[in-house]
Structure 1
Amino acid sequence: MTVLPSLVTVADLAARLGRTLTPTQELQAQALLDDASSVVRAYVRLDITRATTTDTFTMRRADPLLHRCGGVVTLPQRPVVDIASVSVNGTAMTDWWQDDNEILVRAWAWDQPPAAHRPPQVTVTYTHGWDPVPGDIQAIVMQAANRVLVNPSGIRSETVGGESVTYLIPAVGEYLGALLSNTEKKVLDRYRRTAASVRLRGC
């Protein structure tokens, strides 16, 4: 399984905080940025960072009202930057075109039963993601990591009637830590993938 890099570097976080981190703080910051990056990726259902991937998908029949082609595959990672190769059932194909994050195979003879129960398998090598990572995504990752870095226990203190009172949750609700607030989710919704392709294997 490929380990994806953090969406923000420790140097970026230190620059945003305007201070120099100690070696111990750098290790903690890296772990928190890794956690926050994983949380953001899980929410938007995308790798986000630029990469080239080879995956195999199950072709689906095209909607004749929308596409005049033999079959369609939807690539799960966005944005699609480049498609290097497409093969169907192990045979390289050139008779295809791209429509956003979909690959449309111009002509394909679908098998009749019982072979029809084994739909064509499409292997695609494509480049996807952003370079650089969008600034609003980076801002949310840094914000989520910084919540834990500056206040790891989620402690909030205030003085009431001359006495100091300490809470383990903020006034607005439960302690989020590296998780996302509703406001952060709304910002990320513009990137979020709402539908998934069937991915069989990665190379």
Structure 2
Amino acid sequence: MAVLPSLATVADLATLLGRTFTPEQEAQAQALLDQASAVVRSYIRQDISRDTTTDTFTLRRVDPLLHRCAGAVTLPQRPVVDIDSVLVDGTATYDWWQEDNELLLRSWTWDLPPAAHRAPQITVTYTHGWDPVPGDIQAIVMQAANRVLVNPSGIRSEAVGGESVTYLIPTTGEYLGVLLSRTEKKVLDRYRRTAGSVRLRGR
């Protein structure tokens, strides 16, 4: 499986903060952006970045009159930019079309022996994701990384030389670190995958 890039760059973060990082700070910022990107991807269950994937799915039955096709596959990564190839049980087919993230096949040999009781396996190579990354996703990744840069110890307040110092931690007292707040999750919910096809194996 290919290693996906961070959803924001160190340069993006430096511009947001209006500062210049030392080499050591750049390395720390990159590590935190990598972690924040992984957290966001895990939450919404999407690669997000533009990428090409080959996956195999079990074709599902649909109502041929309602859907005008014999079967369908829901491609889990969104948005679907292009479908490069489709194989039915290892044989290439061009008898399909795309509707959003649905791959619809006009016909197949499900009811013919020897595969009368086995759903066809559909291998799809497709390009998906955003280029560039949506601004709200990028902003959340930088916010999550910056929380640790600002306050790596997770301290809300402390007395320093007789003065009280307050850190940028939510009023609930919850230390988020490279995690997501409830507000950030609400923003990300519009991108979140809630259901999909049965995937057998990935790239």
CA contact (8 A) 1:57 1:198 kept: yes
Corresponding position: 1:83 with 2:83: yes
The alignment yields a C-alpha RMSD, in angstroms, of 2.2
- Alpha-carbon distance in structure 2 between the residues aligned to 1:178 and 1:18: 21
CA distance in 2, matches of 1:114, 1:88: 15
In structure 2, the residue matched to 1:184 is 184
Q: SS where residue 184 of structure 2 aligns?
A: helix
Q: Is the 2:109–2:115 Cα contact (8 Å) retained in structure 1?
A: no
Tell me the equivalent position of 1:56.
Answer: 56
The match for 1:118 is 118
Partner SS state of residue 131, structure 1: coil
Contact 1:144/1:179 (<8 A) preserved: yes
Q: In the TM superposition, what is the alpha-carbon distance from 1:151 to its structure 2 partner?
A: 0.3
Percent identical pairs in the alignment equals: 81
Answer with 137-146 or 188-197: which moved more. Answer: 188-197
Inter-partner Cα distance in structure 1 for 2:48 and 2:73: 20
Q: 1:16 to 1:88 in 2, by over 3 A?
A: same
Any idea what SS the aligned residue of 1:43 has? helix
Paired residue type of 2:145: A
| Equivalence map 1:1-203=2 (5 Å) | 1-64=1-64, 66-111=66-111, 115-157=115-157, 164=164, 170-203=170-203
TM (norm. structure 1) is 0.90
* Secondary structure of the corresponding residue to residue 193 of structure 2: coil
Shift of 1:146: 0.1
The number of residue pairs the alignment matches comes to: 200
> Cα gap change, 1:171/1:135 in structure 2, threshold over 3 Å: closer, same or farther?
same
Q: For residues 104-134 of structure 1, give each alpha carbon's deviation from its aligned partner in whole angstroms, at most 9, with x where no partner exists.
A: 1001131368844431110111110000000
**Deviates further, 192-201 or 108-117:** 108-117
Could you list the runs of 5+ residues in structure 1 that have no partner in the other structure?
A: none
Q: Output the CA distance in 2 between the equivalents of 1:182 and 1:166.
A: 21
Structure 2 length-normalised TM: 0.90
Shift of 1:194: 1.0
